Structure 1
Amino acid sequence: MDRIEAMRAFVTVVSEGTFTRAAERLKISPQLVSKYVSQLETHLGVRLLNRTTRRIHLTEAGTHYHQRAQQVLNDIDDMENQLGNLQAEAQGLLRISAPVSFAIRHMAPLLSEFQKKHPAVGIDLQLNDRKVDILEEGFDIALRIGHLKSSSLIAKRLAPVRLVLCASPAYLEQYGTPRRPEDLREHKYLRYSYMNMDPGHSLQKWLQDSSRENTRGMISNNGDVLIEAAIAGTGIALQPTFIAGSAVKEGKLKVILPEHEPEPMALYAVYAHRQLLASKVRSFIDFIDGFFGEPPYWDRFE
């Protein structure tokens, strides 16, 4: 008995409702479909289907087996198709969601080099700092930054994302340089509204206190705005080095309280779990992996 073919015959009978329609779909005879199912039941030692002259019914064992058999067949089909796609040229429109500041500063060279290597792939890049639903909104890949929680999605870690607390030399000269986290209560905090940091971290408490007690600070959903405000001497910002690194390197900003720096987050490429990866998606994931360097080039400012 060919167990895979018998399993496929059984699953097709269940989905089509009759042996005749299953045979038409599989392009084999109804007698062979019936033989496959009978052999499968004999092999398993249980009845999977109750047959009447008009219709079939799944038994309790059949219901359980059908769920697992469908999963196994999906896995086999995915594996075979992926192997075929490895030989196919990457092509089609690749829809990517990416964080605003990261994309503006770092995505253009990446996408330009990717399209030179894969000219048949078009790019639709949508910038948004909110967490998009890649299935509902039709994205192939989403780039996300943070500490990702477990989900039904596959996440490929691409690079560490370091957070630094920084302010302009002029601001620090005027208001003083914080020496301890509790000193932050006396300063103006430029807060990013989507910040995903460990709530138990020592900086988080004092930054939150600073926001509550000092209404002269600023809040924004864009990190570039906050960094420009910090450069202008408006206050202290906690931002990733992919935004702040160049200003630190140029001396426009100074890193403060480095010994209290939060644990790095990470940049991830996220795509749908169990979705068959088209060659355009697989090619992009392979291309972006390692593109930014280790450590990433935006951290080479010290």
Structure 2
Amino acid sequence: MDRLTGMEVFVRAVEYGSFSAAGEAMQMSSQLVGKHVQKLEQHLGVQLLYRSTRRQSLTDFGRIFYERAKLILSEVETAESMAAETRAVPSGRLRINAPVSFGMQTLSPRLPEYMKAYPEVSVELTLANRAVDLIEEGYDAVFRVGELSDSGLIARQLAPYRLVLCAAPAYLEKRDPLASPWDLQKHECLGFLYTELRTHWTFDGPDGREVVPVTSRLMVDHGEPLLCAALEGLGVMLQPMELVKDYLADGRLVALLPAYSVPTRPLHILYAPDRRLTPKLRSFIDFSVASFGPSGNANLLPKENRLGD
């Protein structure tokens, strides 16, 4: 800190034009200002100021050092401000966007926990399966499933998004059994309008990765209507674990193709690059990583409802 104090005294002496003026501004004697500058010069081994009884002026190196010292002091001030903001109480409106199924099944049940912890934060949550524009639409943070494009946003990785192939027992009783992913071409597939799930479903099995083209009589842009259709026995669906786990647990849906797994999809929380995160945004990001991060408890598929186990 002595070196930083010396830099600050030197910068003030240059800006105020004299040791006495700098000392008055910093509430120290002109003699102490002189000692700080002299000690800094001794440390550097270079003269910074030409001094006489009437005036002072910068040496060539002193001019360069002055500019660099100002930058260093500015960075120190910024760092201290960040620390102060971290200690501040989160408050204000927080705008968040999330995919529909994740937002309804995973985020919404945990959101009251965050709001109870930070009572001065108000939350505005929207759910959409399209990729919203965080900057243009004024969001503080968005959750996004899938591979990320180079958007310039900052991304924090969360636990991967798991998809499950399943159908209702009533549907399976009327159809030929599924032995491999290619048997799906003989079944009714309930289609999701977004991403590649509209046209093909991907599986990893004993012989490697298999990509199966699918066609659908019913195409929907939200998972919840597909869930309703599946429960009514209209077909097979490939949807997030968050959406179907309770129905798998009570037997209203049955997981299919136990020898095959569906590749997980990345899940991130994104926010705009900013050197000074507001306390409300920092608190929500920390909450999200703790609640939904890679080290969180994954939802396990109930073994008793895996068809073929």
Distance 2:87 2:202 in 1: 48
Aligned counterpart, 1:272: 272
Per-residue deviation, residues 254-275 of structure 1 (Å, max 9, x unmatched) = 1112332222123321111235
Cα distance, 1:258–1:74 mapped onto 2, change above 3 Å:
farther
Matched, 1:240 2:240: yes
Per-residue deviation, residues 122-172 of structure 1 (Å, max 9, x unmatched) = 111111111111111111110112233443111112222111111111111
Aligned counterpart, 2:47: none
| Residues 99 and 143, structure 1, Cα contact 8 Å, conserved in 2 | yes
Instruction: Trace 1:185-196 onto structure 2 (pairs within 5 A).
Output: 185-195=185-195
Distance 1:146 1:220 in 2: 19
| Residues 167 and 230, structure 2, Cα contact 8 Å, conserved in 1 | yes
| Residues 101 and 240, structure 2, Cα contact 8 Å, conserved in 1 | no
Aligned counterpart, 1:57: none
Matched, 1:129 2:132: no
Aligned counterpart, 1:250: 250
Matched, 1:178 2:191: no
Matched, 1:165 2:165: yes
Matched, 1:228 2:216: no
Moved more, 238-247 or 149-158: 149-158
Question: Which residue identity lines up with residue 263 of structure 2 in the other structure?
Answer: E
Cα distance, 1:42–1:158 mapped onto 2, change above 3 Å:
closer
Cα distance, 1:92–1:235 mapped onto 2, change above 3 Å:
same
Per the normalisation by structure 1, the TM-score is 0.69
| Residues 202 and 263, structure 2, Cα contact 8 Å, conserved in 1 | no
Aligned counterpart, 1:50: none
Distance 1:130 1:74 in 2: 41
Aligned counterpart, 2:108: 108
Query: What count of residue pairs does the alignment treat as equivalent?
Result: 250
| Residues 177 and 256, structure 1, Cα contact 8 Å, conserved in 2 | no
> What stretches of structure 2 of length at least 5 have no aligned partner?
12-56, 204-208, 304-309
Aligned counterpart, 1:81: 81
> What secondary structure is seen at the aligned counterpart in 2 of 1:191?
strand
Question: Which residue identity lines up with residue 258 of structure 2 in the other structure?
Answer: P
Distance 2:236 2:258 in 1: 13
| Residues 165 and 258, structure 1, Cα contact 8 Å, conserved in 2 | no
In the TM superposition, residue 284 of structure 1 has moved relative to its aligned partner by: 0.9
Distance 1:196 1:78 in 2: 45
Instruction: Trace 1:286-301 onto structure 2 (pairs within 5 A).
Output: 286-292=286-292, 294=295, 296=297, 298-299=299-300, 301=302
Per the normalisation by structure 2, the TM-score is 0.68
| Residues 162 and 264, structure 1, Cα contact 8 Å, conserved in 2 | yes
| Residues 166 and 236, structure 2, Cα contact 8 Å, conserved in 1 | yes
Distance 1:199 1:73 in 2: 57
Distance 1:266 1:77 in 2: 37
How well do the aligned residues superpose, as a CA RMSD in angstroms? 3.8
Distance 1:73 1:144 in 2: 38
> What stretches of structure 1 of length at least 5 have no aligned partner?
9-34, 44-68
Bigger radius of gyration: 2
| Residues 96 and 141, structure 2, Cα contact 8 Å, conserved in 1 | yes
Per-residue deviation, residues 73-117 of structure 1 (Å, max 9, x unmatched) = 997665443212111001111111111222222333322111111
Aligned counterpart, 1:119: 119
| Residues 94 and 140, structure 2, Cα contact 8 Å, conserved in 1 | yes
